[in-house]
Amino acid sequence: MKLTPDQIATFETEGYLFLPNVFSADEMALLTGELPGIFAQNRPEVIREKGSNAPRSAFYVQTWNEVFGMVARHPRLVEPGVQLLGSDKLYMHQFKINAKAAFDGAVWQWHQDYATWFNDDDMPTPRAMNIALFLAEANEFNGPLMFIPRSHRLGRLEAGHDVTTTSYPLWTIDNDTIQRLVEQGGIVAPKGPPGSMLLFHGNLVHASGSNLTPWSRWILYLSLNHCDNAIRRFKRATWIANRDFTPIDMLPDDCLLAYARAHRGAAA
């Protein structure tokens, strides 16, 4: 999937790009059908919310689930990253599903992803980005992602290591800085149906609130990085910060539908 010059300009100016309805209903049915089994697993890659058994994140799923292994190499997700990062030599720094569970989904504090990649993983430069795929509807009630537009232009900001607020430690930005940034750029919260995509810069400041609704909000994230910008510190497990810097080899665009057809035939 190729982005247009206008879409690329929007990303570069605002720090993010929202694309609704990129994947079909049949493709999304295949993906969401895998989620109960993924979140039910008792393994270190599945992180639970603090104080409850609700899933918060499932990491490295592309290595232990066949369907999401294809998603990690899907051209509609990877090719926009190739365009925006300016290289076809990209590797998967991180692959995760964030599960903002109904009633129990906790906050993600204000942060830049590159702050964590830099401080924890020693990623040399912010030549990395996120490709997000909505696996469920994101609406104004169930904790949508919030962005501060154009905040990526400020580079990496001062951050503190929050290891207490949630079950996942994060390099977060203080309230005074967030107030100043919001006064300058405001807040947006892209919303849409399953199959929609969000692309955003590694330095874009973002967060999400808790989910008090009956509607879970699931988002898949591919964090893509230049192979020659690979991390140099390995204190985090490889399922959080990947140590395999092999370039992504994209699959055919119809790989998910072909898989669904083949498995329907096998089941019959």
For residue range 216-231, what is the model confidence (pLDDT) as tens digits? 999 999 999 999 999 9
In contact, 11 and 121? CB cutoff 8 Å:
no
Q: Compute the average pLDDT of residues 125-146.
A: 97
Mean of all residue pLDDT scores within the chain? 96
For residue range 207-217, list pLDDT tens digits in order.
999 999 999 99
Average pLDDT over residues 98-121: 95
SS3 call for 260? helix
Contact 37, 97 (CB under 8 A): no
Q: Quick one: which of 246, 228, 245, 12 has its CA closest to 124?
A: 228
Can you give the pLDDT at residue 264?
78
Which percentage of the chain shows pLDDT scores above 70? Answer: 99
Cβ(71)–Cβ(132) below 8 Å: no
Domains in the chain, CATH or no CATH each: 5-267 (2.60.120.620)
What average pLDDT does range 185-199 have in this prediction?
98
pLDDT at position 268, please?
42
User: What was the pLDDT predicted at 263?
Assistant: 87
User: Residue 86, SS3?
Assistant: coil
Cβ contact 206:200 at 8 Å: yes
Q: Which residues, including other chains, have CB under 8 Å from residue 216's CB and lie 6 or more apart?
A: 99, 100, 101, 102, 105, 136, 142
Residue 157 has pLDDT above 80, yes or no: yes
Instruction: From 63, 67, 30, select the one nearest 45 (Cα to Cα).
Output: 63
Helix (H, G, I), strand (E, B) or coil at 184: helix
Is there a contact between 159 and 111 (Cβ–Cβ < 8 Å)?
A: yes
